[in-house]
Copies of this chain bind each other. A is one copy, B any other.
Amino acid sequence: MKSYSITEINSILNGELIGNPELIIQRPEQLERATSTDITFIGSTKYISLWKTSKAAAAIVNENFNVEPGEGRALIKVKNADLAMAQILEVFNPGPPELGVDIHPTAVIHETAVIGENCIIGAGCYVGKDVRLGKSVVLYPNVTILDKTSIGDHTVLWSGTVIRERCEVGSHCIIHSNVSIGADGFGYRPCPEGKGLIKIPQIGNVIIGNGVEIGSNSCIDRGKFSSTIIGDGCKIDNLVQIGHNSVLGRSCIMAGSSGLAGSVTLGDGVIIGGSASIKDHTTIHSGAIVGAGSGVMRDVAAGQTVLGYPACDSKDMLKQWVALRNLIKN
Oligomeric state, in copies: 3
Tell me the interface secondary structure of chain A in the complex.
Answer: loop
Binds B, one of A3-11, A12-20, A63-71, A118-126: A118-126
Contact indicator B219/A241 (Cβ below 8 Å): no
Given contacts A100-B129, A241-B239, contact A162 B158 (CB under 8 A): yes
Does residue A82 face the partner (Cβ distance < 8 Å to B)?
A: yes
**CB-based contact A216/B219 at 8 Å:** yes
Chain B nearest Cβ from A227, distance in angstroms: 8
Q: Could you say which interface size class chain A belongs to? A: 35 or more
- State whether A188 and B235 are in contact (beta carbons under 8 Å apart), knowing that A126-B122, A201-B86 are contacts in the complex: yes
Residues of chain B within 8 A of A275, CB atoms compared: 259, 275, 277, 295
Subset of 26 A-B contacts with CB under 8 Å: A28-B225, A30-B225, A82-B189, A90-B201, A93-B201, A97-B146, A100-B129, A123-B126, A124-B124, A174-B199, A177-B183, A180-B216, A183-B216, A184-B213, A186-B235, A196-B233, A197-B235, A216-B221, A217-B217, A219-B239, A257-B259, A261-B292, A292-B297, A293-B310, A310-B321, A323-B327
